[in-house]
Amino acid sequence: MTVELINPAGIPAPEAYWQMSVTQGSRAVYLSGQVARTAEGEPVGAGDLAAQTEQAYLNVGAALAAVDAGFDAIAKLTVYVVDYAPEKMGSLIEGAMRAGARLGVDVAKPITLLGVAALGEPDMLVEVEAIAVLP
């Protein structure tokens, strides 16, 4: 196993994600932000944060599969959300969990959530980038 997930003593242990990952491996993967677009570039989930989050996570999974890796190799996720407010958390979790169910993986990882004014195109509501470590 190249990534060990830990909630260290002395800091809060959240339910929806891990505080830290410890990695061992020789290859690092830095995946650019994935958005709600199909492989053909078609938009998914106009105005629907859960649907866009699901597609972004599915794209992360597809990108990792291209290097013979899966979600277990992820050391850290960063999620950017347009006009983030706490009431959007439910939609984010719903979309991530749906993607996890479709991929058959646990998507809970160390994560940083950032609210932003806008993303690369006006219809984008969420972007997910990943750092993974491979043996």
CATH number of the domain bearing residue 119: 3.30.1330.40
DSSP 22: E
Q: Is position 79 within any domain?
A: yes
Each residue's pLDDT tens digit, 83-131: 999 999 999 999 999 999 999 999 999 999 999 999 999 999 999 999 9
Say how far apart CA 13 and CA 82 lie, in whole Å.
26
Q: Is position 20 within any domain?
A: no
State the total domains in the chain: 1
**pLDDT at res. 1:** 63
Q: At what angle do helices 49-65 and 89-103 cross, to 10 degrees?
A: 40
Over range 51-69, report the average pLDDT: 97
Q: Is position 3 within any domain?
A: no
Each residue's pLDDT tens digit, 66-86: 999 999 999 999 999 999 999
Asked if residues 125 and 36 have their Cβ atoms less than 8 Å apart, the reply is: yes
Q: In what order do the strands lie in the sheet with 27-34?
A: 27-34, 126-134, 74-82, 111-116
Give the residue numbers spanning the domain of 96.
27-134
Strand 20-23 with 3-6, pairing: antiparallel
Q: Is position 111 within any domain?
A: yes
pTM of the predicted protein model: 0.92
Between 21 and 2, the higher pLDDT residue = 21
